[in-house]
Structure 1
């Protein structure tokens, strides 16, 4: 991952926040196997369960992707405006589109196959599964769905840039957000969530012609966060002289909304045939919690983790690779410990640490060095 630069100021805290969110996503996916829900579609369900993981999954699932989309939206217009459409898409094809296609064709089938492998004494042949069942009832894009939807948002941004290139120019005047901006954004994202929830279950996934896998209830919400990132870049938010969120009010609001959201979610939205009024309440609590925790984490990292220390630098540099490979590490380790009857906290903690360390080591000392050799060889050919 490239360190992000805005003008002459390195945005270390945004790099570090993105790395943190990806590491959180890893332990989030480890925790999926320990929920009491006995998820039929999840890769490896452990024999041990605890209600804590239900709550952990419910709350973490709200904000990890909005933060990812907002950070992507923050830096995309800078590159698009500075380097142009051709260079912008050359980079996105290499870093986003090709990993998306490769992940869907070669890694997602392995992840989907693990559903059968972890549950059956005699699972089917993998290659037969890949040719038939994967492109049928077991089709998914695993975590690569994010790259597909992000590519779609980049297309929308590019079209908007072509139609109105002046808007994506950075504003000369750095202005703080008005008092109504964040309440309006919360209502907008709540309306987006609610409108989708009228037609789809709030956690439903939809396969769109084997091209996109998306959550229709959250698609517009994610687009709003991507757009908010674009707006924040245009108005120089998070820079030294621009708007920076204050940790205390955002942090207190996020903690309050954490409890409000969880209580509402468990009480009203896990019932069958949720009434429309309760769906509206779910949309509002979901949207408000997502917004408050997003800006609380931005404020926290800007205040305390705007650092170029060695560990942060290496985590930031390897975070994208960790994102791409983490399920390939989680699944075999999950299968190994699946039926071990030991303390659940020891098991979950040990698996999380081992997965994080292995992912980092593979990214730092195996995958990225190989990719660097390929780049060096290409550069040598160019200059020879």
Structure 2
């Protein structure tokens, strides 16, 4: 497999972390949320998703966040699956799993055990009668779950990586077979999209109809959105198939029809999102009380909007982001650490700006710039310390894991 860096996909990694920080920065300012903060001790604990709610709102943030909620996490699972075959080929299954533990499993525990409580302490203070650390810890320990924040993505990614490693070790012929299957779509991105939508329909709609598209459940720190686990598996292994075939010669090659027709894919993404949004609005505010036909139509619209949104961003980067830029290279290199760190800065900056005399756009911009800059700077500092420690000890594992 080709091990040369893929510049458009490296740039896409930078774009994705940019969007992730922007998404979380805008959540307090959504016009669709209630006027006041959610009580800390009252189910369904919606403060986990919306730690801070600010009086200032702007509907434009609702549109942006709805678009990202539809496709962003699916794209992140897709990108993870895309590069997994190359990692397995270089390292083998057992070394790959060991590396995954150090890179994903251990950081998940750190994020859950340390970073998540620090971030949510700000949320607790918005409704607390006793805002002390001791009182917060007492309320935190009384919760029926241990909120993980954005780190929920990591444990699911670790499980999918373990499944891929098992497939690579126990059924290498199957890996080759799915790689050959992906080759059918080299010049047929529309057929690939239709196939992805069809599989997603089978994976998503039954769960969405039973559990609603929005509900989550948790077992300790392990959270899952009940409508989407099978959907995310589809995206991970669809990309795994492309990676097994070869990224640079498959449907995602930079000179392929997906990249050439990026404008059409963007138009499809906007149109499908509008359809999903219109149909979903018919099911609000109570999904279960809505007519069955409305719920089914909204559920059917999601897979198409998700696939078009993810593939449009891939197409845009493949076509328009073929050049290396120092800023994007740095952001891409630090993207994983920023993902781990940014939420603490996001939530506390949102909390600090609650009483500021600014409009929603100004507050969101300050939160975004501050959180991105701080988490980026901390990541750079940690990597320098790790490199220094590795140089002194002759061990490079710690520095490698922070990249």
- TM-score, normalized by length of structure 2? 0.85
With over 3 angstroms needed to count, the CA separation of the structure-2 counterparts of 1:173 and 1:253, relative to structure 1, is closer
- 2:283 aligned partner: 268
Q: Note the aligned Cα RMSD (angstroms).
A: 2.5
Native 8 Å contact 1:161 1:168 kept in 2: yes
Deviation at 1:306, TM superposition (A): 2.1
Structure 2 residue 328 is the aligned partner of structure 1 residue 312: yes
Check conservation: 1:62, 1:286, Cα contact below 8 A: yes
Aligned partner (choices 215, 227, 235) of residue 225 of structure 2: 215
What is the CA distance between 1:248 and its match in structure 2?
2.8
Match among 253, 261, 270 for residue 268 of structure 2: 253
Residue in structure 1 matched with residue 339 of structure 2 by the alignment: 323
Indicate the residue corresponding to 2:400 in structure 1. Answer: none
Relative distance call for 1:307 and 1:136 in structure 2 (3 A) is: same
Q: Note the C-alpha offset of 1:157.
A: 1.3
Q: Does 1:176 align with 2:204?
A: no
Give yes or no for contact 2:82–2:243 (8 Å, CA) kept in 1.
yes
Matches within 5 A, 1:157-196: 157-169=164-176, 171=180, 174-177=183-186, 180-196=191-207
Q: Where does structure 1 lack aligned partners over 5 or more consecutive residues?
A: 1-5
5+ residue gaps, structure 2, are 39-46, 398-403
C-alpha separation between the residues in 1 aligned to 2:145 and 2:124? 10
Say if 1:309 and 1:50 are closer, same or farther in 2 by CA, change over 3 A: closer
- The answer to which of 157-166 and 324-333 deviates more is 157-166
Alignment of 1:232-381 (within 5 A): 232-236=242-246, 237=250, 238-239=252-253, 244-245=258-259, 246-272=261-287, 273-364=289-380, 366-379=381-394
Which residue does 2:130 correspond to in 1? 122
Which secondary structure state, in structure 1, belongs to the residue aligned with residue 211 of structure 2?
coil
Structure 1 residues 171 and 184: CA distance shift in structure 2, 3 A? closer
Which residue pairs with 2:211 in the alignment? 200
Native 8 Å contact 2:3 2:86 kept in 1: no
Worse-superposed segment, 328-337 or 106-115 = 106-115
Q: Structure 1 residues 8 and 142, CA, compared in 2 at 3 Å: closer, same or farther?
A: closer
1:136 aligned to which of 143, 147, 170:
143
Which range is displaced more, 314-323 or 347-356? Answer: 347-356
In structure 2, the residue matched to 1:28 is 23
Q: Distance in 2 between matches of 1:381 and 1:190?
A: 44
C-alpha distance in 2 between matches for 1:335 and 1:352: 13
Between the two proteins, the alignment pairs up a number of residues equal to: 374
Q: Deviations over 1:196-242 (max 9, x none)?
A: 1222131111113x252110101111111001111111232223677
Is the contact made by 1:33 and 1:46 (CA closer than 8 Å) also made in structure 2? yes
Measure how far apart 1:158 and its partner are. 2.0
Contact 2:269/2:309 (<8 A) preserved:
yes
Aligned-pair CA distance for 1:9: 3.4
Structure 1 residues 228-260: Cα deviation after superposition (integer angstroms, max 9, x where no partner):
111111232223677744313212211211221
Whether the aligned pair in 2 keeps the contact of 1:13 and 1:301 (CA below 8 Å) is: yes
Distance in 2 (alpha carbons) for counterparts of 1:381 and 1:202: 43
How far has the Cα of 1:316 moved from its partner?
0.6
| Equivalent residue, structure 2, for 1:3 | none
Given that residues 186 and 284 in structure 1 are in contact (C-alpha distance below 8 angstroms), is that contact kept between their aligned partners in structure 2?
no
SS in 1 for 2:285: coil
More moved, 112-121 vs 73-82: 112-121
Q: Distance in 2 between matches of 1:355 and 1:381?
A: 29
Q: 1:258 to 1:296 in 2, by over 3 A?
A: same
Q: Summarize the Cα distance change of 1:240–1:64 in structure 2 as closer, same or farther, 3 Å threshold.
A: closer
Is the contact between residue 66 and residue 290 of structure 1 (CA under 8 Å) also seen in structure 2?
Answer: yes
Whether 2:74 is the aligned partner of 1:66: answer yes
Tell me what 2:41 maps to.
none
| Aligned 1:84-163 pairs, distance under 5 A | 84-120=92-128, 122-123=130-131, 125-127=132-134, 129-130=136-137, 133-134=140-141, 136-137=143-144, 139-163=146-170
Shift of 1:172: 11
- Rounded Cα–Cα distance in structure 1 between residues aligned with 2:181 and 2:55: 58
2:312 and 2:396 map into 1 onto residues whose CA distance is 47
Shift of 1:106: 1.2
Residues in 2 aligned to 1:106 and 1:8: alpha-carbon distance in whole angstroms: 35
How high is the TM-score relative to the length of structure 1? 0.89
